[in-house]
Structure 1
Amino acid sequence: MTLYLDTPSAAQQAEALVGRHFRLADHYEVGREKIREFAQAVQDDHPAHWSEDAAAALGYDGLVAPLTFPAIVWLQMQRTLFETELTGYDISQVLHTEQQVRVHRPIVAGDDLVSECSFESFRQFGAMDILVMRSLLRDGAGRPLQTAHSTVVAQTGVELVGDLAATVAGVVQPPATRGDTGRPGAARMAECAEGPAEVAETSDRPGRIRFEDLRVGDRLPEHRVALSRGGLVNYAGVSGDTNPIHFSDEIARAVGLPDVISHGLLTMGFGAGYLTRWLGDPGAVVDYGVRFAGFAPVPADRNSTIEFGGRVKELDPVERTATVLVTATCGDRKLFGRASARVRLA
């Protein structure tokens, strides 16, 4: 079997999505053990993710989900869209290039997550198709939790031939016919007449860092994360990101990568934990955005190390917030082209 990706139908499908709106038909129930699993996958040891007593001491009603926990739902929505609306693309050719998150209220155990999204734009740049979508997560009562803007790039003009094409198909989707959302466990979507509303309000929880103790230019303590192939597989299982470039040497090389690479949302999750560890409260991040500039290769026989750093760029005395620039490097590779967070201070 030969799978051709550079077909008019792929771009036409993407163009036809602009201005359309979808909602996952079912909600996602946030369980405390899933919070712990996700915290372990992103190596976030903040006590509020693990101990209900620690979460209660900060004023939460249950375990607090790590900032990028909604990746589970974002990826479910994305996977369903590629299975049903964007069938001209191959998931192994799709890369996350930018993610922005605005926190309206921290997510805690027991929340029901209702997800809706709107396709904002589509454009082509050479052999790359660039898609931008906006997602809104609400709780079961309709209150906003997070707004996210996601940019993904689908590479076209690539041909996967024979056994390799079959391997990709077997790894990234069930053996059922693509687009079959009637199979057991498949996510279902409903198209909506209107997109998710814009939400202005943001989380009002302050961290434990005092505004008066910071100056523009102050640097955050550096932090290192060791990442193994096992860690990649664990994150793939917990998050649902089954793109084989994150665990298959054969497929990674076939699409032009030097090795298996880390998930972009995983490195973003490491960065979120870096910020909340410094702030002392997982709910103190107001906005967090990352533009991915590079990837962290993870060899089969040893760990890779990602180094995080941060610097205070701006201070707002009225809102008592700080804008922090975050850096992430793996060896001589710069992983974040631009990463910043607005955080609330005590």
Structure 2
Amino acid sequence: MEATFDVVELVGYRYRTDDYYEVGREKIREYARAVQDFHPAHWSEAAADELGYAGLVAPTTFISTAAMLANRRLLETIMAGYDVFVQTDQVFEMYKPVLTGDRLVSDVELASVRRIAGKDLLTITNTFTDRTGDVVQIMHTTVVGITGEDVDAGITDAIDRVIMHGIEARTAVAPDDADGSLVTTPAAETGLRLSPFSRTRTPRTAIRFEDIAVGDELPARTARVTRGDLVNYAGVSGDANPIHWHHEVAALAGLPDVIAHGMLTMGLGAGFVTGWLGDPGAITRYGVRLSNYTVVEAASAGNVEFTGRVKSVDPETRTAVVVIVAKSAGRKVFGLATADVRLA
């Protein structure tokens, strides 16, 4: 059922968070552990320095932790007519890797609303700038807004009983004199200054462009996900949704059991690609459409099997597009997932 308010009128609503997000050395390590990404550049300054980075490199999907804080005002206050949000699509545009010590400010915008089969598909865009004013990364998140009539009536009470404390205390809000505004100017005309770093530096990948061809397959990887992994990711990322760690809430939401976070699965997939590349800053775009979920039972771990192949190459730019397939219990978790990469 559609929301009782006209969310279409909010398209273009935009605000800037009033505080910066400072990227911590140990936070990078915590997040890397949470998505099982053990590339040395996430853990060792010496290893990062060998690749030309002035600090630990954050994993590909790390910026979603800052977005969780920045977006709470939009999701919990401006669009309070929805009871639940379900993630469907995610796109990361990388213009410069996120490093230890970066101070990032996010512009948040409700970029579009589409109504399909009675459901509202909402796309939120986060534009992250650093202290120089350059755009470091842009993140596009598409969610389905679900109202109370589409979920069990007891889910709100169940969530209130188990949700962690202090969620509101971490909400990033706009200043009192900047409650948000409707922005109709296309992003290309707003004067954004994209950092040239990721598209001009020479990548230090383990694989050279001359050594790949269309159809080449990446070494397969299987990731094991336990309930403990889900609880850890919830704490590290700030995604406190109990469907990822509480079976009662998951059942009330119509799920067979607790399920892994979509962003956790995406983080595992990104590490699968960067492990093959050897340079975590060599991805310039990562996009995933979620088509299913990974069930994680109490008595057994869930498994996600990752495979990939080179879909296309561009000799002029020494770039390639990699298609990633993720499966769990025989079901495709990713409907479509691609990574644009630059090669040495």
TM-score, length-scaled by structure 2: 0.90
Q: Deviations over 1:192-251 (max 9, x none)?
A: 565764566561342231010001100000011000011011001000011111111111
1:301 to 299, 302, 310: 299
Tell me the number of residue pairs that the alignment of Structure 1 and Structure 2 aligns.
Answer: 330
The answer for the alignment partner of 2:88 in structure 1 is 97
Larger mean CA deviation between 215-224 and 78-87 belongs to 78-87
1:278 aligns with 2:276: yes
- SS of residue matched to 2:259: coil
Where in structure 2 are the equivalents of 1:317-336 lying within 5 Å? 317-336=315-334
Shift of 1:280: 0.5
User: Are the aligned partners of 1:100 and 1:287 in contact in 2 as well (CA < 8 Å)?
Assistant: yes
Q: Residues 60-99 of structure 1, C-alpha deviation per residue, up to 9 Å, x if partnerless? A: 1111100100111122223221221111112xx3111000
Q: Is the 8 A contact 2:34 2:232 kept in 1?
A: yes
Q: Which amino acid aligns with 1:279?
A: L
Letter in 2 for 1:100: V
Which stretch of structure 1 is more off in the superposition, 81-90 or 278-287? 81-90
In structure 2, relative to structure 1, the CA distance for the partners of 1:259 and 1:133 (3 Å cut) is same
Letter of the structure 2 residue corresponding to residue 274 of structure 1:
F
Aligned to 2:244: 246
Report the equivalent of 1:187.
Answer: 172
Aligned twin of 1:141: 132
Aligned: 1:132 with 2:118: no
Cα 1:141–1:126 shift into 2, 3 Å: same
Q: CA deviation at 1:116?
A: 0.6
Aligned to 1:66: 59
> Aligned equivalents of 1:173 and 1:102: distance in 2?
31
Question: Taking structure 1 as the reference length, what is the TM-score of the superposition?
Answer: 0.90
Whether the 8 Å CA contact 1:171–1:242 is kept in 2: the answer is no
Partner of 1:158: 150
- 2:112 pairs, out of 121, 125, 129, with 121
Partner of 1:20: 13
Task: List alignment gaps of at least 5 residues for structure 1.
Answer: 177-182
Structure 1 runs (4+) deviating above 3 angstroms are 159-162, 169-176, 183-186, 192-202
Query: What is the CA-CA distance between 1:186 and the residue it aligns to?
Result: 3.5
Query: Identity of counterpart residues, as a percentage?
Result: 46
Q: What's the counterpart of residue 266 of structure 2?
A: 268
Equivalence for 1:203: 198
Q: Measure, in 2, the Cα distance between the counterparts of 1:252 and 1:127.
A: 23
Contact persistence 1:202–1:286 (CA under 8 A) = no
Q: Quick one: which amino acid aligns to residue 100 of structure 2?
A: A
| One-letter amino acid of the counterpart of residue 124, structure 1 | R
Q: CA RMSD in A?
A: 2.0
Q: CA deviation at 1:44?
A: 0.1
Secondary structure of the residue that 1:142 maps to in structure 2? coil
Return the letter of the residue paired with 1:120. A
Question: Would the aligned equivalents of 1:23 and 1:192 in 2 still touch at CA under 8 Å?
Answer: no
